[in-house]
Chains A and B, each alone.
Chain A
Amino acid sequence: DTGVSQDPRHKITKRGQNVTFRCDPISEHNRLYWYRQTLGQGPEFLTYFQNEAQLEKSRLLSDRFSAERPKGSFSTLEIQRTEQGDSAMYLCASSLEGGGGYGYTFGSGTRLTVV
């Protein structure tokens, strides 16, 4: 595969509904990250996985948010009981693990609009 894929690209949902987003990382990458970005701002970290283990979650990630990465491959991000403040671009990225750091490869994002 040639990049990180995110699905869907756009999602419009009514307040109170649940939504789920999917991310397919680069297959060789063992790290997967979720970020949220609002208009005019930089991406804010939500959570990351190393293989199937979720190693860190931001305090931004309320109990309405849950992320999984079964079998260390694709990942899903679910938002329950959506609120208007959840409207944002949700970005997924993957990278190789390494002490010296590697650049991230980002997907095109899922734009969520809560009405």
Chain B
Amino acid sequence: SQQGEEDPQALSIQEGENATMNCSYKTSINNLQWYRQNSGRGLVHLILIRSNEREKHSGRLRVTLDTSKKSSSLLITASRAADTASYFCAILRGDGAQKLVFGQGTRLTINP
């Protein structure tokens, strides 16, 4: 069963705007990761944030983690048409589980 739930399921914005996607989960975690998937392709790892971290940056990406609320957000600043993709959060549970559990994803469309 899916542990992470992304919100919104779909997001459409204009090029240059910022895009924010949220992820909620139910268990304790070791870390939380975000992935991008272009249509019909495999997933690409974007960023990993550990349970003792609150914020991480990578280029135009900013990820926050609030373990008390069991939620994370992914912010993409100054969006580009090439950012059009599905974005998934995935958790590595804190109970020693050894595989990532993915959410349902947010479909992001950047309009030129």
**Counting CB contacts under 8 A, is B62 at the interface?**
no
Q: Which of A40, A48, A91, A99 contacts B42 (CB 8 A)?
A: A91
What total count of A-B pairs have CB within 8 Å? 70
Chain A, range 89-104, C-beta contacts under 8 Å to B:
89, 91, 93, 99-104
Interface pair B101/A45, CB less than 8 Å apart: yes
Q: Give the number of residues in A that approach B within 8 Å (Cβ atoms).
A: 30
Q: Which residues of chain B come closer than 8 Å to A56, judged between CB atoms?
A: 98-99
**Counting CB contacts under 8 A, is A105 at the interface?**
yes
Q: Can you sample 14 A-B contacts with CB below 8 Å?
A: A4-B42, A33-B100, A41-B104, A42-B2, A44-B102, A56-B98, A100-B31, A100-B50, A101-B92, A104-B43, A104-B45, A106-B35, A108-B41, A111-B40
